Amino acid sequence: MKNKIDAHTHIGVDVARKKFGMTYLFDGDLLLKLAMDNNVSQIIALPALGQIICPDLGKPNHPQIYGLGGIPNLVNLDEDKMFFECICGKKWWTKDPFEEANKYLFRETRRLNSYEKLKLHPISWVHPLKPRVDKDIREFYEEYTIKGVKINSVIDKTDPRNYIESEFVDIIKEFDLPILFHTDNESPALPSTFLEFAKKTGIKCQLAHGCFGDKKSLEKISGMDNVVVDLSPIEQYYKGRLLTKRKFSTYRKYLEHVISLCGKNKAIAASNFYWCGWTPESYSKCWKDFESFGEEDILYRNAEIFWRL
């Protein structure tokens, strides 16, 4: 069978773990080895989110959520800087961390592609309402040949329905780029909001993490030409707690639930490295789960068509 495509991975530096001298697994060389061990030939690579940490991280009694550093709330932004607030009360302006994360990804994908062992396709992480987002995407497309963009509404705190008419949408349509949306079980990252965006704009959208198993959203996707679902695992899958409030005994049972609702022609294999359980072993495990369905569509063909690989 043709080698597989991993349609959602991350490469970058986990600043919080680096701060404390701990191992972080967003490493590109590790991803290269794991991909080759599991017969993955192409990868859709995203920046890691680990560049955003509170300046007071490490001080006594500082709350540590979502890993070591948590993800501070984005409050405001201009062309070059972003203003964050941590749950500890700290507020600060900082150089745009999205830009730093993107540039790291671009350097790493070029380096790894030079080995000619597998093909990595970078997609940039952007804020849709940044004043110069159209200029950023144009630069990323022309200089780094991005295949699409990633939006994480949990971080940017922006409902996608609020930028249906925007410079961001205009530039995405100009270059005909897909958007990979992080889905979650809280607003503004609910799968239903992204489906409304996809319907009104006509833009190709990949919804991550199986839409958290949301039955209504997955059923709608089965009839939408411009939307696919990636099967990437996140911590909640292993705990069994999903948007549907159902519990699943195994990750494979969850995959059965998602695929049965959206259809095999809409489901795309994706590891979410390094978030897929926080160990290299879990990367191989998730691919065994994908392979157990024996579907070429899920393992590579759907991603090939959607990302035009």
In the chain, where the domains are located:
4-52+96-306
pLDDT value, residue 236: 58
Phi/psi at 229 (nearest 5 deg)?
Answer: -120, 130
| pLDDT score for 239 | 58
pLDDT at 187: 87
Residue ranges for the chain with pLDDT beneath 70: 1, 23-25, 64-71, 235-245, 275-278
Q: Do 184 and 193 form a contact (C-beta atoms < 8 A)?
A: no
4-52+96-306 architecture in CATH?
Alpha-Beta Barrel (3.20)
Q: Which pLDDT value is given to residue 66?
A: 47
What local confidence, expressed as pLDDT, does residue 57 receive? 84
Assigned token pair, 250: 């195994």
Closest Cα partner for 206 from 286, 246, 150, 249? 150
Q: Which pLDDT score is estimated for 117? A: 93
pLDDT of residue 5: 98
CA-CA distance, 23 to 18, in Å (whole number)?
7
CA dihedral (32, 123, 44, 176) positive or negative:
negative
Other beta carbons within 10 Å of 166: 15
Please tell me the predicted confidence (pLDDT) of residue 185.
Answer: 83
CA distance 271 to 291: 12
- Report the C-alpha gap between 230 and 125 in whole angstroms: 17
Do residues 54 and 90 touch, judged by C-beta distance below 8 A?
yes
